[in-house]
Amino acid sequence: MGDRFDRLGARHANVEALLRRPGIGHNNGPTFDMSWGAWVWRRASAKAWKTPSPEVAKMRVKRAERLGITYRELTSALMDSGANLGVAVLPLSLAARVRRGPKGEIVVEPRNFIAALVAKFGGRLFLLGDIDAVPGLSDEERASFLTIVNRALDGKVEAIGWGHDGPAIRTMLKANAVPHQEAFLVGSGIGHKVLGDTAGLPLTKDIDSWLQ
């Protein structure tokens, strides 16, 4: 009966990997790749991250500070796309609460910490008006919404787009002649990370570390 029982076929999918795990003394790091391709990649990566001239480094540091991101995040986006970041896309639902007033008027109440962050931001600010976060607006109300939201955010919002997905972001950027490589998303959580990736943005910045 033992000859008829396929012990190998009965193994769990992870068993083979466990049997082949490194022995004592291995740090579980990646395989040391000595191929030509890996060598070229390491050489190019080192060159890309080589410290630039003091003037260029100072310029990048100042730009990163104005945008509320790190020097490395700015440089990484530049290396990946060849474009300088300059536009922040902020979901409206994260920036403010939108409700109807007693007379049916639109009321925009910025989150307490958002107003302070936006005041420090030195780039171009776009809002993505998540339809679910806004109480059914008429076409006329949408047309005047930018003015209303700027009263709450000190006139810092340059444009607003409507939607809740990556294509909505791309449409808003295109309408304002902004290449998507020059924009980054300010968000919170995995949902916004996916949103930024879907839009093809080079960076999604967590709001908890934005402008800090």
User: What distance in Å separates the CA atoms of residue 106 and residue 146, rounded to the nearest whole number?
Assistant: 11
Mean confidence (pLDDT) of the chain: 83
Q: Residues 105, 141: contact at Cβ < 8 Å? A: no
Question: Which residue from 80, 42, 43, 77 is spatially nearest to 60, judged by alpha carbons?
Answer: 77
Higher pLDDT, 180 or 83: 180
What confidence tens digit (pLDDT) does each residue in 68-124 have? 999 999 988 888 887 889 999 999 989 998 888 898 888 899 988 898 999 999 999
SS3 36: helix
Sequential DSSP letters for 154-191: TT-EEEEEE-SSHHHHHHHHHHTT--GGGEEEEE-SHH
SS3 77: helix
What confidence tens digit (pLDDT) does each residue in 4-17 have? 445 555 555 554 55
Higher pLDDT, 83 or 211: 211
Predicted local confidence at residue 5, as pLDDT = 45
Helices and strands per DSSP (H, E), number in the chain: 9, 7
Q: Which amino acid is at 112?
A: N
- Give the single-character DSSP code of 212: -
Domains assigned to the chain: 54-209 (3.40.50.1000)
User: What distance in Å separates the CA atoms of residue 134 and residue 131, rounded to the nearest whole number?
Assistant: 5
pTM of the entire predicted model: 0.76
Tokens of 156: 């810092």
